[in-house]
Amino acid sequence: MKMMGSLIMIACAALLGGCAATVPSELVNARLAYQHASAGPAAQLVPADLHTAQEALARANEAFAKDAKSYHTLDLAYVAQRKAEMADVLASIAAEQNKKAGSEKAYQVTQGNLLEENKEDLSQTRTALAASEQNSRETAARLSAEQRARVEADRKAADALAALAKLAAVKEEERGLVITLSGSVLFRSDESTLMSGAQSRLDQVASALMASHDRNVVVEGFTDSQGTDQYNLDLSQRRANAVRDYIVQRGYDAGRIQAHGIGEGRPIADNATAEGRANNRRVEIVLGHAGKL
């Protein structure tokens, strides 16, 4: 990835040097955003997101080389910039998580502070995405059906990432993008029926997941260490099933989502304290890679 990224930057520099007066500002901004993201921790912490931004920038550069004045070039440059900015934000979140140890509560507070710092950037991203829809409609007639589909898919994916980062604790792992929801906002104590407030939260999660409907999802339920191992395993499975079933009801392909009860395994906090037990009672939704379940 580093070598390919370097080649892109060299190509960008050559284009900037050779035809600086004709390079649209949208493409210049996309190149700078990718350069900033690739120079930071994104390559180590969120390589998949950085690679997606890299591919988007390559498509924008290719479109510019073919037709420097094309509206299609501007659309692709805009998408590339947003993907690079989102990779940078997710990398910052992941870096902050790696610095913090202990309870999930401490992690959530840290992420909340970090997201607050990036609130303005994310808000501007959503505003710009909405404003760009008008431009997309005006240029739709100039694009082929395949090109329109690619741009729309890229826009939805970028928007979904921003929505997920604002919705819950989100981190990038080798297995995929992990969304962590506290059990206390989903279920009453010792129950597996979703509370009414939980349904509203899961509606937002389902909407974000639908933007990447070709991805496979695993819902994992966790409990604290109170009670027997078998009881906790059964309770966590029922809770994972409840979340899975609700997301399926909201339109996600049932064949692409599984539910697993983990019980009291893989704790993230000390079960010896009430706070630690509360942190361990959670549901994790893992957005994996297409074709791998």
CATH number, domain at 244? 3.30.1330.60
Q: Are residues 159 and 197 in the same domain?
A: no
Q: Residue 7 CB: number of other CB atoms within 10 A?
A: 12
Q: Are residues 107 and 11 in the same domain?
A: yes
Q: Are residues 143 and 9 in the same domain?
A: yes
Q: Are residues 33 and 153 in the same domain?
A: yes
Residues 112-131 pLDDT 10s: 555 565 566 656 666 666 66
Asked which of 170, 200, 222 is the last residue of a domain, the reply is 170
Q: Are residues 146 and 24 in the same domain?
A: yes
Q: Are residues 101 and 131 in the same domain?
A: yes
Can you tell me the mean pLDDT for 162-182?
79
Q: State the Cα–Cα distance between residues 122 and 59, nearest whole angstrom.
A: 23
Task: Provide the domain limits for residue 114.
Answer: 2-170
Q: Are residues 235 and 181 in the same domain?
A: yes
What pLDDT, on a 0 to 100 scale, did the predictor assign at position 204? 85
Residues 191-203 pLDDT 10s: 889 998 888 888 8
Q: CA-CA-CA-CA torsion for 29, 65, 137, 205, nearest 10 degrees?
A: -50
Residue 292 domain flag: no
What pLDDT, on a 0 to 100 scale, did the predictor assign at position 2? 46
Asked which of 113, 138, 170 is the last residue of a domain, the reply is 170
Q: Are residues 50 and 137 in the same domain?
A: yes
Q: Are residues 27 and 161 in the same domain?
A: yes
Q: Are residues 20 and 160 in the same domain?
A: yes
* Exposure on the CB side of residue 63, measured as CA atoms within 13 A: 24
- Segment holding 263, helix H or strand E: strand 257-263
Are 287 and 160 in contact by the 8 Å Cβ rule? The answer is no
What pLDDT, on a 0 to 100 scale, did the predictor assign at position 103? 46
Residues 48-69 pLDDT 10s: 888 988 998 999 898 888 887 7
Q: Where are the alpha helices (DSSP H) in the chain?
A: 2-18, 25-39, 42-45, 47-66, 71-99, 104-117, 119-139, 145-167, 196-210, 229-249, 274-280
Candidates 165, 183, 277, 178; CA nearest to 219 is: 178
Question: What are the phi and psi torsion angles at 285 (to 5°)?
Answer: -110, 115
Q: Are residues 204 and 276 in the same domain?
A: yes
pLDDT grade for 137, boundaries at 50, 70 and 90:
low
Residue 50 domain flag: yes
Q: CA-CA-CA-CA torsion for 282, 95, 43, 206, nearest 10 degrees?
A: 30
Q: Are residues 146 and 232 in the same domain?
A: no
Residue 222 domain flag: yes
Q: State the Cα–Cα distance between residues 162 and 126, nearest whole angstrom.
A: 8
Q: Per the structure, how many domains does the chain have?
A: 2
pLDDT grade for 147, boundaries at 50, 70 and 90:
low
pTM summary value: 0.53
